[in-house]
């Protein structure tokens, strides 16, 4: 795992309580640290039965706290007033996993160990990830305690359904690290520069059916669009809709709409951008589709030696969006991409005008290290005033963050 901008230098207090799932917290603490966060771990007595402070110390490179009364030694608390020191400057108090016992303590304000005292003293947002076996999660008492915590502004990472350590199956499993990190980045980013904005993003190459088994498509992987969706969540967008043809993972906090053809994508984009603040069309939409889709599989014995396909034009989604926007004012802002193999800038400029865009991200698809399928890209961002922002070769993640920051600045400045 590499650095994650939204987590860099963030101070996360990770409370680990006594569930078998606390083995997953070791990986979580490690990945958060690798992402650039400062992770201070508090273990309860129950957690120490499963995992040791040394393990967490090794992966975070920081002292691990277990004892409310300890005031000397390397792992003593950061100030002489124990419960103030840890939570004081935290960006987040994450209790992962949270047992039924700790949830009850938090719900009723008990303060009998370092974690529960820190939870009372800290003014940082608190997120809980309940994990418990044998249907305990559904018990009305547990549900009541969780509801109490949520009413007071606590945040929940819902447990998943699956097999428990006991062999029973039900709801109560702690999600895996990528999901946990997805929730954490959404919470940390929630007051970001896109807070209160609805963002719609398209991703991947469309597939135009020839018959029930064959289609025409292109080399787009969807990586840039999915990275943009994550960057929009990190920037605090209130709603992120990702209209995608790709089976890449969908970031936590993103609502995916799966489509196949340019026509499906057109309907989904027009529908979801009708009240959106920002639309980013990162998809490689087919310009042509088979004129007649065969109802049954085309059999080779029924055709001549060669098969000739007649292709017709698809709708230009951005041109349709432009018409919708002229009528309703929505989406408030539109960003397009331009995949060019020659005369990149002049073609891109013409596209910016023709498609009624506010920003256009142009890339040269002939470069090996940029464009389709690879993890990196090299783009130029053009605006309607003739400004050009040339970004050096970077990961699609970094490029997405730059695009989102630029769009957010423009939306904010309207």
The DSSP H or E segment spanning 227 is: helix 223-234
**In Å, how far from its chain's centre is CA 137?**
26
Binding ligand CTP by CB under 6 A: which of 88, 193, 287, 383?
287
Q: How far is the CB of 62 from ligand CTP (least distance, A)?
A: 45
Binding ligand CTP by CB under 6 A: which of 281, 381, 397, 404?
281
**Are the C-beta atoms of residues 130 and 103 closer than 8 Å to each other?**
yes
The span from the CA of 7 to the CA of 261, in Å, is 36
Q: How far is the CB of 221 from ligand CTP (least distance, A)?
A: 14
Q: How far is the CB of 401 from ligand CTP (least distance, A)?
A: 19
Part in contact with ligand CTP (CB under 6 A); list of ranges 27-35, 153-161, 330-338, 380-388: 330-338
CA distances from 242 to 258, 259, 273, 281 (A): 8, 10, 11, 10
Quickly count helices (H) and strands (E) in the chain.
13, 22
Q: Which of 101, 145, 218, 377 is catalytic?
A: 218
Nearest residue (CB) to ligand CTP, 295 versus 342 = 342
- In our burial notation (b when 16+ CB lie closer than 10 A, e otherwise), range 108-117 reads eeebebbbbb
Nearest residue (CB) to ligand CTP, 115 versus 338 = 338
* Footprint (CB under 6 A) of ligand CTP, residues 332-361: 336-339, 351, 355
Nearest residue (CB) to ligand CTP, 170 versus 336 = 336
The span from the CA of 249 to the CA of 296, in Å, is 32
Say whether 387 is catalytic. no
285 binds ligand CTP, rule: CB under 6 A: yes
Binding ligand CTP by CB under 6 A: which of 12, 29, 59, 283?
283
Nearest residue (CB) to ligand CTP, 149 versus 344 = 344
Q: What is the DSSP letter of 247?
A: -
Nearest residue (CB) to ligand CTP, 173 versus 355 = 355
Neighbours of 57 (CB within 10 A): 16
First to last CA, the chain: 37
Q: How far is the CB of 282 from ligand CTP (least distance, A)?
A: 7
262 binds ligand CTP, rule: CB under 6 A: yes
- Show the binding pattern over residues 76-115: x = contacts ligand CTP (CB under 6 A), - = does not: ----------------------------------------
The DSSP H or E segment spanning 186 is: helix 177-189
β-bridge pairing 254-258 and 38-43: unpaired
Which residue's CB comes closest to ligand CTP?
317
Q: How far is the CB of 375 from ligand CTP (least distance, A)?
A: 20
SS3 content of the chain, % helix, strand, coil (to 5): 35, 25, 40
CA distances from 221 to 105, 126, 217 (A): 47, 37, 11
Active site residues: 218
Chain residues binding ligand CTP by CB under 6 A are 262, 281, 283, 285, 287, 314, 316-318, 336-339, 351, 355
């Amino acid at each position: 795992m590499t650095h994650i901008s939204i987590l860099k230098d963030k101070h996360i207090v990770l409370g680990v309580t006594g569930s078998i799932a606390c083995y997953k917290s070791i990986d979580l603490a490690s990945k958060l640290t690798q992402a650039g966060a400062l992770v201070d771990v508090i273990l309860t007595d129950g957690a120490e039965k499963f995992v040791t402070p040394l393990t967490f110390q090794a992966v975070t490179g920081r002292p691990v706290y277990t004892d409310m009364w300890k005031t000397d030694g390397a792992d003593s608390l950061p100030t002489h007033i124990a419960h103030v020191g840890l939570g004081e400057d935290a960006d987040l108090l994450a209790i992962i996993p949270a047992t039924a016992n700790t949830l009850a303590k938090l719900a009723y304000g008990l303060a009998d160990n370092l974690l529960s005292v820190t939870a009372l003293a800290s003014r940082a947002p608190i997120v809980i990830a309940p994990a418990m076996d044998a249907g305990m999660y559904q018990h009305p008492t547990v549900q009541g305690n969780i509801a109490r915590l949520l009413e007071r502004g606590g945040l929940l990472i819902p447990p998943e359904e699956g097999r428990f350590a006991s062999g029973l199956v039900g709801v109560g499993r702690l999600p895996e690290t990528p999901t946990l990190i997805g929730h954490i980045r959404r919470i940390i980013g929630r007051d970001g520069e896109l807070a209160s904005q609805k963002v719609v993003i398209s991703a991947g190459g469309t597939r135009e059916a020839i018959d029930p088994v064959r289609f025409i498509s292109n080399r787009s992987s969807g990586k840039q669009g999915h990275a943009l969706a994550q960057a929009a969540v990190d920037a605090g967008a209130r709603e992120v809709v990702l209209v995608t043809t790709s089976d890449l993972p969908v970031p936590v906090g993103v609502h995916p709409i799966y489509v196949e053809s340019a026509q499906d994508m057109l309907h989904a984009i027009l529908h979801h951008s009708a009240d959106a603040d920002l639309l980013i069309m990162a998809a490689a939409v087919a310009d042509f589709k088979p004129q007649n889709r065969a109802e049954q599989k085309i059999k080779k014995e029924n055709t001549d030696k060669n098969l000739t396909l007649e292709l017709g034009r698809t709708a230009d989604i951005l041109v349709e969006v432009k018409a919708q926007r002229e009528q309703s004012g929505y989406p408030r802002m539109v960003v397009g991409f331009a995949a060019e193999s020659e005369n990149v800038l002049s073609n891109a400029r013409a596209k910016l005008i023709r498609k009624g865009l506010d920003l256009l991200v142009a890339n040269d698809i002939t470069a090996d290290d940029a464009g389709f399928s690879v993890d990196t890209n090299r783009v130029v961002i053009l605006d309607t005033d003739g400004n050009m922002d040339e970004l050096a070769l970077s990961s699609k993640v970094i490029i997405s963050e730059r695009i989102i920051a630029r769009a957010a600045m423009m939306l904010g400045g309207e």
